[in-house]
Structures are given as structure tokens and as C-alpha cells.
Amino acid sequence: MANMTRRNFLSICAAAGSLALVACGGSGTGSDTTTSSSSAEASAAALTTVVAGKLTCIANMYFPPFESMDESTGEPQGFDIDLGKALAEHLKLECNWLPSQQFDTLVPTIKAGGTADISITGMTINDARKQEIDFSDPYIDSNQALVLKKGSTETEASLNDASKKVAVQAGTTGEERVRENLPNATCVPLDEVISCMTSVSTGNNDALVIDLPVAANLISNSFGDLEVAQEIATGEQYGIAVSKENPELLAAINAALAEMESDGTMDELEVKWFGTKL
Amino acid sequence: MHFAHTNVRGRAFVALVLSCLGLIAVLAATPAQALTTNKATARPNQEGGNGVVGGIDTRLTWEGTVGDDEQIEAITLELPQGSSFAGSTTRVTVLDGLTRIPIEGQASDTDERLVVNFDNPVPAGSLLRLEVEGMRFAEAGGDCAVTGTYTASGSQHELDSSDSITVIEGTWLQRAVAVLDANPAVEAWNSNQFLGMFFKPQLILTSLFSLFPGWLVCLVIVICAYPFAITLGLIFALMKISNNVVLRAIAVVYINLLRGTPLFLQIYIMFFGLPMLGINIDNNILGVAVMAINSSAYLAEIFRAGIESIPQGQYEAAASLGMGRLQTMFNIILPQTIRRVIPTVTSDFITSYKDTSLLSSVGVMELMMFAKNATSVSGNITPYVTAAIFYLIVTLPLIKVVGIIEKRMARSERGSGPRPKLTQPTVTTEDAEQVEGAQSVLPNDSTDAGVLMAQAVRAAVGGDING
Amino acid sequence: MARKRGQTLQVKVPAPLDANEAAQRAFEHDRPLTTHNFVEGEHPIVRIEHLNKTFDGTTQVLRDINLTVWPAEVVCVLGPSGSGKSTMLRCINLLETPTAGHILIEDQPITGLAKAEVNKLRQNLGMVFQSFNLFPHLTALGNVMIGQTKVLGKSKEEAEAEARKQLEAVGLADRADFKPAQLSGGQQQRVAIARAVAMHPDVLLFDEPTSALDPELVRGVLDVMRDLAKNSGMTMIVVTHEMGFAREVADRVVFMEDGVVVEQGVPAQVFDNPKNQRTAEFLGDIQ
């Protein structure tokens, strides 16, 4: 209880109050409520979060199947979303997903603190980002894909030419990949992966380099005129971004991730969103 | 494969044959080549460019393929003299196809040499990638090929040399950043989370240079767009006040559609809509077009309001001289309108200039785009602050100019302010003016009697004619 | 024609007369009423025949106006505010469109002219406004030049020479480079007169040229107008409240009230011995 904040203390008081009320009322369903709330409070008291009792998550919501928004309800959905919910459950916190934010603003948001506790957004662990924030243990492996219009004969080698334009999502490892490996081509960083796909589809850009699972998902669902021309083996790993100020939360998340790995939760999620265990 | 990376296209066949011969020669010399070098690249770390600069941190990526019947226990990478692995961190990735094999490595570094010992042997047929973050190439630059050795089954072999990486000589900018890095005051400053996040001195310095091309793009776009915007705006303003119902309707629809929708949406429609109609235009030109069209709607309203603010008497005075509608518009009304709208137009110019930032969302390489990239690479907000500086460099003086023009206009409407010199220097007193006025009032064809009469009249009424 | 104030007059707008017939009648009627010295065989320069003007279809401001002006004649139009003097003047150069009736300038009917012909017509009809209406973006010189260069197609040099001559004539040669805002009201009005005269129109129309001026500035403008009247040989129609000016300068004085020409005649007669009761009342109020 050493790092208990005033807000946590107050909520515990409130919980104690409600416990007393329930005890007085002698309601039949009271026992269920009280046990769950008291255990959640105990856990929340151990972990400092932006909103006490809640695990506030943030992501760029245009990265299916990791995160996207349900077309009819606008609710966030995807592998990362479910992962966040499962994590929250393990940490005995309530999961709260904030509205979508630009990908490049996520690391600064986590670093600045006060908005979100964690960002689960298909973010590849790399050292530049590690200087600003902490990453959890990797939760999934990924690779890159070279996406072309169907029938295009371009290759990575032929794209490395001043006349070629290659779209990427700004701030992604795909962008790094293009800048490092295709220095002669014009790298066109766009905000969202949908814009990238559209720009290749319309012929505005010649190719796109983006995370393979995302490319595969989008091509099979909405961009039938594109194809993954080349799978680029990068073996990169996604991690959950946590503020460097909150090592307790990071440790708790790593523990939860290990637990979910062993109890089969991860496998379930993978099957749900990728159709197979990875 | 060596030849897969050959850039020679015209003589591809010859190159292929030669490469095959070369490969055969290599294979003949070292038949048990178990680890083939695929490539070695370095992350571009040049401010505002794609080059690899020596003397400052970058990331070296080395990739190789393990032979069919070998396992790799350790690998040593070597760089030419002057390069340094000191203080670097190494990430090991082993892939079987697209699947990751969990193998870690212990890296120990000396200046030009990096030794990685694997906890488990890297299996046959797998892809091995080493990403060495925080290493530096020699400050003098030059072509750097990665060489080295690897240990398979307890024995050491030479690695193929990689294609060389072109390294640019380090500049004063990098050295300045290094000085800042070493400065304890800077470190203390950066340790404050707010200051370090928004005003990191190293990033301000480097992003001033890296954002500069984006700033130029912003300026060029808005400066190219504005003449078109003014012309279009004038045309639509004139259409809106014309007597022709059709012209008026077109202008009203055009102006209201553009003013009533966000610029962001217009950008998306132009950038994604036009290509779908089979119209492919260069991004920058398209950016100019969008800014011009958007601005023209606002300018049309500004011009219309300006034209309508000119009093009816001006039209009547022009008409009484026998001027036609167009002559009146271009000689009398528009020159006055332009004076009146200069402050509002300048404000709109400022808005347009700032609005070019929205073009970054569709991949126009303008200021915000550079700032966004710099931020997403560094995870630090400072490049946005630098971008703000670049915006202010232009907007603050313009805001000042608007203020000066407005003040001057207010003064000239009151009739105060500097007066031109009198055309005839001798005329200064009322009397002098009267006498002269009396003599000159008469048209040339007047009679002497008329002159006398006029003088008599003047003498009779006397007093001040000058007001 | 005599009636009391406030009495409504039901005027049926008459069918326009045949132009020649109307001219003949007006010719016979108006001739003796002016001090103007006629030239044998000349025709009236402005003929207004049964002019009616209604605003918004309801407010009738001009009722059956008939007026004939001879070349080189100076006509002053007097009357209380709202009597339709200015509207009549503005009808002559078509700044207002007549509702009914004829206006003939140099025997040419001007109602129903095409736009280009209207512009041509206005070159011949200089106008001086109550509120000067100088072009504020041009200097005094520029104001006097612009009509000459843009409408008459004169060269810049020619126009400038003419403009300087006219500015000198109104006593403002030294103010050629001043902007209107830097000139007093009286000076502005004199520039406006120079601007009109520089076009060498056949007729000069003055619409209450001194009404917007401070009293001490009126005299300078009137001096200029008097000089024009006595020496330029230009036809002038002056709507004014300056009784002294009218009495001294006019060949003929026209008194209007409620959109009707109530009385007209030589100044001495109208001022000293008005036939009409309203004229007498008005002049009595003023003097």
C-alpha cells in the first residue's frame, strides 16, 4: 500500500461503504458484488493507473485484424483489443479503450502519461521506441509484406528506382524497411494503412510495405485487386507500450502475458483472429 | 544470391553468366560454405536525407542464410577501421520461413568487431538476422563492407563480404549534436519530462535542418496556389454578383460547397477520387490545386463583400463619365476593393499556409509530414515544436503586416497621414491661391470681358475659396 | 395647378405624346420664360415630355414633368426636399429609369436605348453629385484623367494636359497629386466639377453640389460654377438650395414641389413676384 494514491484510498473507502450498505440491506445477491469489487480494488490499489480501477488502452484503430472498428457499432475489435480485455481481466481491472489516435502519436502519449496506461497497437519492439517507453515481452511475431496491384511484376529490386513510389504507414517498421532497403525509391508515408492500400489500388503509388497479417486481412476482405507479392521475413515482434514511470504495471503485464501463454488464452485469441495458432 | 542484387539491367544476361561463373568459383574454393551473406544495410540517419552518416549512431542490419547441413554457434562481424560497435545492443532474429525460432545471443563488442554467441545453435536452412542498434560507422565515411567469421561445428570460417554500404562523412551538425549529448546541462534539461519531450535541444537542432525541405514545400505550394486562388476567387465573386441567373447559381454552389466542407475532405476526394477517374497528377501539383480551389471559395466571398462595400455613388460617378459595366468594375471598383480586402486576403493566406499541413495526410512531403516522420522515429514531440517555429517564421511577420496595413488604411480613410508636396511650390498662402484661381478659372476660349467679370465676382464675394 | 400641401393629387399617367408634336408644344410654351439669348433656328438641347417616375410601383415622385432646356442656358431647379428635383435630374442621364414619358437629348429620345448607347449618351452629360463621389484610389489628377483615357480614348499625355488645365480652372492646380481624402469637401467638389468638365459634355448636371458642404466651403464651389455659367457656354441644369446663386446666375428658375413643376420663369419674376402660392411660401421660408 506504499504507493497508494489518494484516489485509490477514496475508492477503497467507497467500496467499504458499499459493503457496509449491502451488509445492512442483507440483499440476496449482495455477496457476489462485494467479493468481486473488493478483489478488484485490492489489485487496483497495487497498480497505479490513469483512472483508478481501469486499464486505459489506446491504439490506432485502422490496423485489422489487430484493431479496427466494427462497421455498424463503431466498437473497437481485433486481436489487440481482445488481448487488452484479457489482460485487464488478469489484472483485475476494468478494460477501457480510448478512441483511435494517429500511430505516430501513441509513443509520446504513453510517455507523457495521464491519458492511457498502455498502447496495444501492433507496435514492433525497436530500440528507438525503447528509449522513450518500455515494451512488454513480445506477444506476437510478425513479418512484412510487399503489396502490389495484381499482375504487377515489380520486385523489391525493381522498386529501388527513382521513378517508383512506395507507400508506407508513417512511423512503422515498414517505413524503416523501405527507407533502408529501397533508398532510391520515393517513400510515401501515409497516416493510415487504408490510405496506403487505396493509393496502391488507384495506382497513385507503385507498392506498399506493411505488416503481413494486416496486408493479408485487408486484401482478403476489401482489396481484391491487390496481392502480397512478397513476404518479407523480418521476424519482428509486437510489444505492449508502457510508460517508463510505471514499472509495476509493466511487471504485472509481463506476468499476465506469461500466464495467458500457458493457460491457452493466447492460443484462443490467435485462432479467433488468424484462424490458426501461430 | 549475389546476382539477385545486381543493379545492372541492360546487360542482365551477361551479368548473370558472369555471376554464375563467380559463384561457381567461390563454391569451388570453399565447398563447405555454411553461412551465406544475404545483405548488410544500415538505417539512414542523415537529417533530411536518406544517407547513412558516419560518426553517429545508426543500426546495422546483417542477414545471412544458414546452409542445409550446418549449425552456427557463433558469428563475428567486422567493419573497416574507424567504425565502432562499442555500446551497441544486438537483436538476434532467427527465422524458419516466416516463423520465428527462439534463439538469443550474447553479444560482446570491441571497436570494429562484434562477437555474438548463440545460446542454441542456429539451425540449418534458417535465416539469421542481426540488428545492431547504436553502432557507428567511421566518421570519415567511405564504402563499408561487413566481413567476419562464423563458428560451425567448432571450427571457424570466413564470412562472405557483404555488398558495401555507402557511408557519408559526418558533418558539423552531427558533431554539434554530439557536443549537446555530452553536455550535463542539456542532460538535466532533458530529464525534465516536459522539456525533454517538447524542447529537446538536440532534436530542435537536427529537425531545423531535417524539416527545412518540408517548409520549402509548404511555401512553394501556397505561393503557387495563391495566384490561382485569387484569379478563381475573383471570377467566382464576379459571377456571384452578375445579373445572369445561371452564372450566379454556379458561383453559389461552388462557394457554398467548398466553404461548407472541411478542407480535409476535399483533399481526400481530390487525392483518391481523381486517380479512380483515371486522372493521375503529381502529388505536389494536386496539392497546389486543392489549396487553390479551397482558398478561391473564401476569396470569392471576401472579394464579393469587398465589391459590395463600395458605395453606390462610385458606380454612378463612373456611369456619369460614360463608363461601361466592365470598365467601371476594372478601373473603379476593383482597385478600391483590392485595397479594402488586403488585410482579409492576407489573413486567408495565413490560413492557407497553415492548412497545407493537412496535405501530409495524403503523402505530400510538406512540413508536417517531415515533423511527423521525425516524431514517429524519435517518439519525441520536439519536431512538432520545430515545425511550429517554421510556421511562425512566416505567419508572425504577415500578421504584423496586416496590422500595419489596417492602421494605414484607417488613417488614409480619415484623410490624415503624409500628404504629397504641392505641385506648384510657390503657392502656399490662401491669397496666392485665390489670385491664381481667379485668373485660371476661365477656359481658354473666354473673352477678356469674361476675365474681368470673373475677377469682379471674386472681388465681390471675397473670402476663402480654399476650405 | 395650385393646391394645398397634403392634398393628394390623383394623376393619371398620360400616354406619351408623339415626340415631335410634344417638342413643338413645349417649344411654344417655354420660350418666353427665360433670359437665355436664343440663336435663330436652334433646337432645345434637353426636352422632358410628360416624365413620370414611380418607385417600387407605389411611390410617385415625378408627375407629368415638362421642361425644355436650350443650348448654353443655365437652369436652376429649386424646391423643398423630396420634391423630385434630384430624381428628375438623374432621369436625364438615366441613373434613374423613367416610368413613363419622353426625354430627348439633342432631338434624340433616350428612353429604351441599348447599354452601349446609354454610355455614349452619358459622355455628353456631365454630372456633379451632392456627395462628390470622387474615386478615392486616384489622385485629383487621376480623377480628372480617367474618363478621358478610358472613355474618350485620349492618350495619357493629352488627358493629363487637359486635366491640369481643368484643375487650374477650379483653382486646384497645386493639389493635383492629392488623394480625395486629403482634400476638403469644397476642394473635392471642385475636383469633381473639373472631372465632369474635362469630358467636354454638352450639358452639365449639378445635383445639389453644395448641400453636403460646410457653409464656409460653399462659396468656392459656387464661384467655380458661376465662372462656368458665365464663361464656358455650357448648358447647365443645377438642382440647388442656393437662392442667391440662382437669382444671380440662372437664365431661368424652375420651382418644383411634390413631383410637379409648379412655376418657372426668369429669376427676377419668380423670386420677386411669384405667381404660385407654394413658391411664395417656400421662398418666404427661405428668405
- pLDDT tens-digit series, residues B78-123: 988 888 888 888 888 898 888 888 888 888 888 888 999 998 888 8
pLDDT, tens only, A169-214:
887 889 888 988 898 888 888 888 888 999 899 888 999 999 999 9
Cβ–Cβ under 8 Å, residues B231 and B295: no
The residue type found at B282 is D
Alpha helix (H) ranges present in chain A? 6-25, 30-46, 79-90, 106-112, 127-132, 156-159, 173-181, 193-201, 212-221, 247-263, 265-274
Does B356 have pLDDT greater than 50?
yes
Residue of higher predicted confidence among A46 and B147: B147
Measured distance CA(C25)–CA(C41) in Å, rounded: 16
Is residue C173 within 8 angstroms of chain B, CB to CB?
yes
Contact A233 B95 (CB under 8 A): yes
Question: pLDDT value at position C129?
Answer: 95
CB B33 within 8 Å of CB B108: no
Asked if B214 and B152 sit in the same domain, the reply is no
> Is B199 inside any structural domain?
no
Cα–Cα distance, B186 to B204 (Å, whole number): 12
Which CATH number covers residue B220? 1.10.3720.10
CA dihedral C138→C141→C144→C145, nearest 10 degrees, is: -90
Residue B223 sits in the same domain as residue B292: yes
Residue B417's pLDDT is 62
Along the 287 residues of chain C, how does pLDDT read in single tens digits?
Answer: 333 333 333 333 334 444 455 445 545 554 545 666 666 667 889 999 899 999 988 889 999 999 989 888 899 999 998 899 999 999 998 999 999 998 999 888 888 788 888 888 899 999 999 999 999 999 999 999 999 999 999 999 999 999 999 999 999 999 999 999 889 999 999 999 999 999 999 999 999 999 988 888 899 999 999 999 888 888 999 999 999 999 999 988 999 999 999 888 888 888 888 888 888 888 887 65
Nearest-CA distance from B437 to chain C in Å?
4
Give the pLDDT band of residue B288 (cuts 50, 70, 90).
Answer: very high
B175-232 residue pLDDT tens: 788 888 889 999 899 888 788 888 999 889 988 988 999 999 999 999 999 999 999 9
Question: Per the domain annotation, does B311 fall within a domain?
Answer: yes
What whole-number percentage of chain B has pLDDT above 90?
34
Q: Is B266 helix (H, G, I), strand (E, B) or coil?
A: helix
Answer yes or no: are the C-beta atoms of B338 and B308 closer than 8 Å: no
Q: What is the DSSP letter of A97?
A: E
CA distances C8 to C5, C53, C79, C260, Å, are 8, 16, 18, 12
Distance CA(C176)–CA(C179), nearest Å, equals 8
Residues B358, B441, single domain; the answer is no
Topology at the third CATH level for domain A12-139+239-274: D-Maltodextrin-Binding Protein; domain 2 (3.40.190)
Question: φ, ψ for residue B268 (rounded to 5)?
Answer: -60, -45
Domain ranges of chain A: 12-139+239-274, 143-235
Question: How many domains does one find in chain B?
Answer: 3
CATH code of the domain covering residue B160: 2.60.40.740
Q: Quick check: C247 contacting B, CB < 8 Å?
A: no
Report helix, strand or coil for B425: coil
- C74-96 burial, b at 16+ Cβ within 10 Å, e below that, comes to bbbbbbbeebbbbbbbbbbbbbb
The reply to whether B178 falls in a domain is: no
Q: CA nearest B378: which of A125, A176, A112, A128?
A: A128
Is C133's CB within 8 Å of B319's CB? Answer: no
User: What ipTM goes with this model?
Assistant: 0.86
User: Which residue bears the cell 559463384?
Assistant: B23
Residues 6+ apart with CB under 8 A from A45: A1, A4, A8, A12
Residue of B nearest to A157 (CA): B5
* Chain B residues inside the 8 Å CB shell of C214: 467
Asked if A12-139+239-274 and A143-235 have one fold, the answer is yes
User: Do B91 and B226 belong together in one domain?
Assistant: no
B437: nearest CA in chain C?
C171
Contact A204 B280 (CB under 8 A): yes
| H/E run at residue B387 | helix B382-414
pLDDT 10s digits, B376-393: 767 788 999 999 999 999
pLDDT at A257 (0 to 100) = 94
Per-residue DSSP letter, C22: H
Residues C85, C76: Cα–Cα separation, whole Å: 10
Does one domain contain both B347 and B435? Answer: no
The residue-averaged pLDDT of A218-241 equals 91
A52-102 per-position pLDDT tens digit: 889 999 999 888 899 998 878 888 999 999 999 999 999 999 999 998 888
Question: What is the pairing mode between strands C100-105 and C46-55?
Answer: antiparallel
pTM above 0.80, yes or no: no
CA pair distance B288, B151, nearest whole angstrom: 58
Which residues 52-111 of C are in CB contact (within 8 Å) with B?
A: 93, 95
Alpha carbons within 13 angstroms on the beta-carbon side of residue C87 total: 25
* Cα–Cα distance, C106 to C195 (Å, whole number): 23
Query: Which of chain B's residues have a Cβ under 8 Å away from the Cβ of C169?
Result: 440-443
Cell of B413: 480613410
Both B446 and B378 in one domain: the answer is no
Query: Are residues B234 and B113 part of one domain?
Result: no
Strand-pair partners of A149: A226
Reported as a single tens digit per residue, the pLDDT across B401-430 is 888 888 887 777 666 666 777 765 434 444
B467 three-class SS:
coil
B320, B328, B340: best to mutate for the C interface, most C CBs within 10 A? B320
Please list, in sequence order, all residues whose beta carbon lies within 8 angstroms of the beta carbon of residue C8, skipping any fewer than 6 positions away.
none
In a domain, B189, yes or no: no
In a domain, B20, yes or no: no
CATH of A143-235, one of 3.40.190.10, 1.10.150.20, 3.40.50.720, 2.60.40.10: 3.40.190.10
| Mean pLDDT, all residues of chain A | 81
Residues of B in contact with A102 (CB under 8 A): 372
Q: In terms of domains, do B261 and B398 share one?
A: yes
Closest partner residue to A235 (CB to CB) among B93, B272, B379 is: B93
**What DSSP string describes B79-101?**
--TT-B-TT-EEEEEEEETTEEE
Q: Which residues contact A217 (CB under 8 A, 6 or more apart)?
A: A64, A65
Domain containing residue B340: 210-414
B438 is a domain residue:
yes
| Residue B187: partners with Cβ closer than 8 Å, 6 or more residues away | none
CB C167 within 8 A of CB C187: no
